[in-house]
Structure 1
Amino acid sequence: MTSDEGVALLTTASPPDYSSRGATLQTPSSENVMNRRVNETILKTVPGLRKTFFGKFKSFELIEREEWLFLFFSLMSIMTTVCFTIYRLCFAAAINPKSDDVLLGIILLINTVFCLYHLLHGVFRDQYFDIMTFLLTTAAVIGYVFLNFFGKDESTNVNRENFRHPTVKLARLIVTCLLGMPVICLGVVIVAKYWRSNYILFRLVGGRTDLQLACGNVLLIHTLLSLAVNSMLSFLVAKYYMDMIDGDTAVIFTYFLYSGVACLWATLGYLSLRFEKKLWIVWFIMLGFLPPTLTVFDTIQVSHEDNIFTTIRFGAILISTIIACSSCLLLILAALYALKFCNIGLSERMYSMDDEDAWRIVTTLRQPDVEVGEGRVE
């Protein structure tokens, strides 16, 4: 073949068709690269969760404007309540340690500590149960403040007709009510928002409906545990405080014994869910009938005392008993429901966060054939 014939062949021959082979070799890798870039973009643009020993919480980037306002007014309410309560507590304890002002001051401090827990836990985990409990605890604090201002003091036998209320009690009442109004209004808005969106459940356990139900039940149990411990500690203070001031060793021992048992019971409930131990949950349910039984029995005993129904002390005992019984019964029902979801890998999903979990969440979001519950990313 001459050079002229070779040139003519090169110019006239059509180029070989590599389209089919190129598609086979190039398309999958290109698609994988593109999918990976899309996944990385999603992971970078959607703020993540903060991993802690107690689970995953929202980062500050996810807190919205109304949530910041709610946090501001709530923290202001808690701080003012604590300041007024400590001032009044020190003043009343210097005059009469057995005064009901001291008793109500201690109960208020206990409730404000749990208020702070429910506030932070509710906002940073999108938990409407915690926000509802915070609103309930805030209402209980307002009720204690009203009870302290208008109620009859058992220790001094005075009431509002013949006793001029100190300025601190009046200021605490006004400030608590003024700050409580925006807290309750914003709290209702946030509860409705969290109720409509199960965003945090989706980020915790992915799109499986059964895992979302189990996760929501576990978070509800955490809320009820703190509420039960709060009410039981308040009840024990209201029941045994007067006798503890007298230095009764048996009463002091009984108080710390009951308090320790309540905390151990709550710890058992938390650990049984944390490690998905079915036997521990059964023990937790069986022991859950003791707190309401003891509180009701002690309340009936206190009601037999003379002229007890009009006192601040009995009002505090009655409120604590109602909350303790309600929370314990709800805990038993929620724990029975939790037995259904043991050993499904819930604890691993809730308390671990690594790159594989993040890719699993994004993959679940992208796959059309995976059953997705109510959770969604907005």
Structure 2
Amino acid sequence: MVSEVTAAGDAAVKAVLGEERFATVQNSKLLVVGAGGIGCELLKNLVLTGFRNIEVVDLDTIDVSNLNRQFLFRRIHVDRPKSVVAAEAVRQFRPEAEIISHHGNVKDAEFGLEFIAKFDVVVNALDNLEARRHVNRLCLAAEKPLLEAGSTGHLGQVTVIRKGDTECFECQAKPSQKVYPYCTIRSTPEKPVHCLTWAKNLFDLCFGPEDESNLLADLAADMRKFQAQESVDGEDAGKRIFAHLFEEDIRKQAELEDLWSDQRPPPGPLSYEEALKKNECPTDADKDKLETQKVPSVAGDAKGFVASVAKMYGERRDLIGQSSFSKDDPIAMDFVHCAANLRMQNYRSETAQVLYHAMQ
């Protein structure tokens, strides 16, 4: 059945492109960089168009949050490399095609100029500017055409880049990342995104190298005092950090009378013991949801925050002082989403909670 469908599709494409162009399609060697939302659609379209020789590079693994839009993946694929599963899926559309997957970062040395030079065309399907710029430069150096398809935030762009014929990806300035005022992040958050930014800075402050530019640098002395200790009880450290951030520091912020008014009431301190009492009962609407789809309780966030700190001081003691936030790191994600939710609890945000996958 698959061969009959493929044959019918080939006949339709050949009728549109003509014999010569269709032969070029079949004999071309393509590199697809990225196997996420755009990459899944591209890989499916490419093999159904007649391309038979494709390699795909992606550094990410499949998460539950990907399944609503990255249609080549299923629940059983969670935690597997995107590139590998995507290649397996599109081979079912065209079994005779040679689809080679690479689980890695396109910025690694193995995917340098010599690697890019093997292909007739490179297709970008990336979601970050740094990687898109890198591939753009490689294609210019190797004099290979680049089909630039990617997203920046909620904006998507598609263009063809060919050295000497078109402008390149960096010929026009791209929008810079949104930067929030220091006072908003540090003292007067109004939106969930402010709390998320605060939580990401907090992770880097607690577990990363010293950085005076960190928005929470004034908390550095208190957050880093555990790093110098050779033996630390991770759970105790988590509870003490919790008390400092969500109770003591919030109490100090609430005392800054000039910041608050009837429209913006002062934040409310939250002790660990108080948080544990806020264990909301699940509703009927939660019964059929996956765990990652349920809105966590304040008690759940408090326990999750302490547990993530305990894991850092237990499983990753050697990496403290060298770590940085990554959405691909489950411990970092636990820390940040719990911290952001608790921060919103402090500031009485009307938004219920930041779900785990809001940062994906």
Q: What's the TM-score bracket when you normalise by the shorter of the two chains?
A: under 0.3
- Which structure's residues are more often helix, by fraction? 1
Bigger relative CO (Cα 8 Å, ≥ 6 apart):
1
Greater C-alpha radius of gyration: 1
- Which structure's residues are more often strand, by fraction? 2
